[in-house]
DNA sequence: TTTTACTTGTGTATATTAGACACAATAATA
DNA sequence: TATTATTGTGTCTAATATACACAAGTAAAA
């Protein structure tokens, strides 16, 4: 039996829906990196007349035969040359007037890369790392997207140890602590921080020391991926407002 | 200076992008309710040939002059008659073959309503509340959407007291506890549960008792909205894997 | 009116976790 | 060899989470 609604619904009734197929879909990637003890984001200059010389996120239109995850991986690989990077869908932005080219809804992803180890592609010479804290305005609704993704990152690193994606393979506890502090915008107690991180069992002592630091060198650690996969399943139950 | 990339990017260079505008965008609402101590979700029968008689979520195509939040509010209001309901964007689903009508990406929302107080619209006689735990298969990728939204709900109620949207204005602590247990799929200790909820300061004793219960009636409480708005700002900092 | 069934309302003791806090040792540099 | 910057380490206290039992209230049935 067909429901007698005036406006049939795409999920239940076959109807003419052709006039709805006028959207473009894009992805915008908030690519975070950590360098000089500062959280940075990779931006590119916009050449659109509307946003002359404003900075914008790296994004692209999604092809008609491509899904969102693939599109954001493609953007990331094309721009940074990196593969296998951490990438997470955050939110879809859809204000009617958000893009001058027409009706474009955009799905935001954040990505975590090692800012030092990757060479920006030569051909992308308008591509730059910007300290997140310094950014005041951007093209499109990208300031809102950046803020949303930063909040998502802050929340996520307190729930899962994705933060290691921002560091080199080997890192000192100081680097790790400074990174937490940069993202969360807080100061942490060094002794308590170390205690807490060691109890997670996620740090592997690689029996090496920092080199070329102008002070007593610290031990280097690496992230215990295997341990994390095991522990990941434990479901937390609590009510914490 | 224009970047010399082969494939200009919609965020930086003006180019012909017309062939990208072939998407439709939809919203799908996972409308949760709580009745008979069971978490339920509002579903409708699909009449699409591909999904004959399968159940699907309530959703609709987004108009070209409408944003996603508005579209999901519209769906919710049209189907349940309710306004001012809790609604939260969760994730956008975009598999290339997910919809038989063409390239439709769909943004999922979850919504919390009081299943008892609202009358389903007469004209929607294929609309039914289903126990979430009983659902095995659905039309489209709606099973995946439901699972994703359930996980989002489970996580969210442990962070913010949105759960009160599922109850009547006045409720007993037993009802509240059963609701938590139904959503999280766990058993909670009654004394510790009460202690924890009282310390939040979010419960207001309305000095009334349950009626028509076949046992000793419990006190009724209401949710302290004002208190929540105040407390909401306190930012939590910690590292909890 | 008594009994039964079911649920309310309450507190304490223990274990775990979070947070505050100081000093000696190490390497590099001047 | 003195200076600078950072490492590495432990304890005490406070707060929070968890486990756990019994008397009393109401309705319904005997």
Q: Which of residues 162-201 of B touch strand D (CB under 7 A)?
A: 189-192, 195-196
pLDDT of residue A226: 85
Residue pair B184/B150 in contact (Cβ under 8 Å)? The answer is: no
pLDDT of residue B3: 35
Choice between B189 and A81, residue whose per-residue pLDDT is larger: B189
C-beta atoms of B11 and A46 within 8 A = yes
For residue B217, CA distances in Å to A99, B76, B143 come to 58, 35, 39
Burial (CB count within 10 angstroms: exposed 0-12, middle 13-18, buried 19+), residue A2: exposed
* Closest-approach nucleotide to residue A240, Cα vs C1': D16
Query: Is residue A105's pLDDT more than 90?
Result: yes
Query: Is residue A128's pLDDT more than 80?
Result: yes
For residue B43, CA distances in Å to A17, A69, B73, B85, B167 come to 22, 28, 16, 17, 20
**Going by DSSP bridges, is the β-strand pair B127-131/B38-45 parallel, antiparallel, or unpaired?**
antiparallel
List the one residue out of B30, B155, B11, B160 whose CA is nearest residue B93. B30
Nearest-angstrom CA–CA distance, A3 and A21: 24
Nearest-angstrom CA–CA distance, A124 and A43: 11
C-beta atoms of B7 and A180 within 8 A = no
pLDDT of residue B121: 59
Who among B12, B46, B64 is closest to A48 (CB)?
A: B12
Nearest amino-acid residue to D10, taking CA and C1': A191
Query: Is residue A233's pLDDT more than 70?
Result: no
Residue pair A89/A69 in contact (Cβ under 8 Å)? The answer is: yes
Strands annotated E in B113-174: 127-131, 171-172
Nearest-angstrom CA–CA distance, B175 and A3: 35
Among A8-12, A177-181, B15-19, B122-126, name the one with the lowest average pLDDT: B122-126
Choice between A53 and B55, residue whose per-residue pLDDT is larger: B55
Residue pair A55/A46 in contact (Cβ under 8 Å)? The answer is: yes
C-beta atoms of B14 and A47 within 8 A = yes
User: CB-based contacts with strand C under 7 Å?
Assistant: A 189-192, 196, 209, 211, 213-217; B 172-174, 190-192, 194-195, 214-219, 237-238, 240
For residue A159, CA distances in Å to A19, A130, A132, A213, A232 come to 43, 26, 22, 31, 10
Predicted TM-score (pTM) of the model is 0.93
Residue pair A29/A91 in contact (Cβ under 8 Å)? The answer is: no
Residue to mutate among B10, B31, B202, B223, with most A CBs inside 10 A, is: B10
Nearest-angstrom CA–CA distance, B93 and B203: 37
What average pLDDT does range A52-64 have in this prediction? 95
Query: Is residue A3's pLDDT more than 50?
Result: no
**Sequence-ordered list of residues with C-beta below 8 angstroms from that of B193, at least 6 positions apart, any chain:** B173, B177, B180
Nearest-angstrom CA–CA distance, A183 and A152: 11
Strands annotated E in B71-175: 86-93, 104-112, 127-131, 171-172
What average pLDDT does range A126-138 have in this prediction? 94
Helix (H, G, I), strand (E, B) or coil at A202: coil
What single DSSP character describes residue B156?
A: H
Mean pLDDT per 10-residue interval, chain B, length 241 residues: 46 79 98 94 88 93 98 93 93 97 97 81 72 96 98 94 95 96 94 94 94 92 86 57 68
C-beta atoms of A12 and B239 within 8 A = no
CA of A190 to C1' of D10 (A): 13
Tell me: the pLDDT tens digits for A183-226?
999 999 999 999 999 999 999 999 999 998 889 999 999 999 88
Nearest-angstrom CA–CA distance, B56 and B62: 17
pLDDT of residue B140: 96
Residue ranges of alpha helices (H) inside chain B are 68-80, 142-157, 173-184, 190-200, 225-232
Query: Is residue A91's pLDDT more than 80?
Result: yes
């Amino acid at each position: 039996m067909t429901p007698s609604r005036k406006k049939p619904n795409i999920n239940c009734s076959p109807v003419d829906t052709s006039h709805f197929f006028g959207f473009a879909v894009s992805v915008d990637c908030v690519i975070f990196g950590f360098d000089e003890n500062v959280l940075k984001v990779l931006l590119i200059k916009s050449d659109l007349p509307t946003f002359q010389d404003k900075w914008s996120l790296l994004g692209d239109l999604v092809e008609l035969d491509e899904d969102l995850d693939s599109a954001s991986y493609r953007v990331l690989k094309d721009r940074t040359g990196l593969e296998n990077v951490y990438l997470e869908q955050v939110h879809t932005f859809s204000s009617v007037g958000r893009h001058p080219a027409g009706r474009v809804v955009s799905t935001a992803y954040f990505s975590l890369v090692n800012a030092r180890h990757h060479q920006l592609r030569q051909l992308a010479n308008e591509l730059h790392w910007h300290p997140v804290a310094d950014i005041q305005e951007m093209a499109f609704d990208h300031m809102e997207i950046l803020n949303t993704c930063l909040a998502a990152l802050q929340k996520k690193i307190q729930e899962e140890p994705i933060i290691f994606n921002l560091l080199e393979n080997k890192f000192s506890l100081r680097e790790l602590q400074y990174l937490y502090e940069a993202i969360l915008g807080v100061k942490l107690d060094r002794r308590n921080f170390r205690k807490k991180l060691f109890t997670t069992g996620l740090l592997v002592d690689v029996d090496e020391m920092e080199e070329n630091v102008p002070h007593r060198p610290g031990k280097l650690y690496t992230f215990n991926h295997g341990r994390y996969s095991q522990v990941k399943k434990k479901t937390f139950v609590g009510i914490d407002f």
